[in-house]
Amino acid sequence: MDDEKKLTALVIEDNEDNMVLITKLLHMNGFKIIWADTGMKGLRMAQEENPDFILLDIQLPDIEGTEVLKKIRALDTSAGRVCVIAMTSYAMAGDRERLMALGCNGYIEKPINPMTVISQIRKVIEEYS
């Protein structure tokens, strides 16, 4: 696959093990990856790098992922309309619905299943397109 045709994923994740796993899976499946380990860095990269989609952890060390999401959605640029997929251990009743209502386009529970996560991501991207 040519680099021009690869989708770019911005992964906003503070846990190194989770970051290594998801970026390896994305890379193996033909995605370009940029990443941030804090919410503010992720927000800045969303604006500067114009990714095709964002995988957003909700529990981040500096600001909550929900705040990152609100700030992204408030942008008056294409970055404000990017596909955002929550990838979180928030798995209580109503969490998925709450995150979708806040502006996420998809929701994937952690721990992720390495065998199915790429198909889950592709499905959300296709539905959003």
Q: Does residue 115 belong to any structural domain of this protein?
A: yes
Q: How would you classify the pairing of strands 106-109 and 83-88?
A: parallel
Q: Does residue 2 belong to any structural domain of this protein?
A: no
CA angle at 68 for the pair 120 and 87, rounded to the nearest 5° = 20
User: How large is the average pLDDT for residues 102-129?
Assistant: 95
User: How large is the average pLDDT for residues 9-23?
Assistant: 97
Indicate the burial class of 76 (C-beta count within 10 angstroms; 0-12, 13-18, 19 or more).
exposed
pTM value is 0.94
Domains held by the chain: number: 1
The C-alpha atoms of residue 118 and residue 128 are separated, in whole angstroms, by 15
**Mean pLDDT in the chain?**
93
- Asked, as a colleague might, if the bond just before 51 is cis with ω within 30 of 0, I would say no
Residue 27's domain is classified under what CATH number?
3.40.50.2300
Domain housing 69 = 7-128
Q: Does residue 1 belong to any structural domain of this protein?
A: no
Tell me the pLDDT tens digit for each residue of 17-76. Answer: 999 999 999 999 999 999 999 999 999 999 999 999 999 999 999 999 999 999 999 998
Higher pLDDT, 73 or 5: 73
The C-alpha atoms of residue 111 and residue 93 are separated, in whole angstroms, by 17
Q: Does residue 19 belong to any structural domain of this protein?
A: yes
Residues with Cβ < 8 Å from 62, sequence gap 6 or more? 38, 39, 40
User: How large is the average pLDDT for residues 82-99?
Assistant: 89
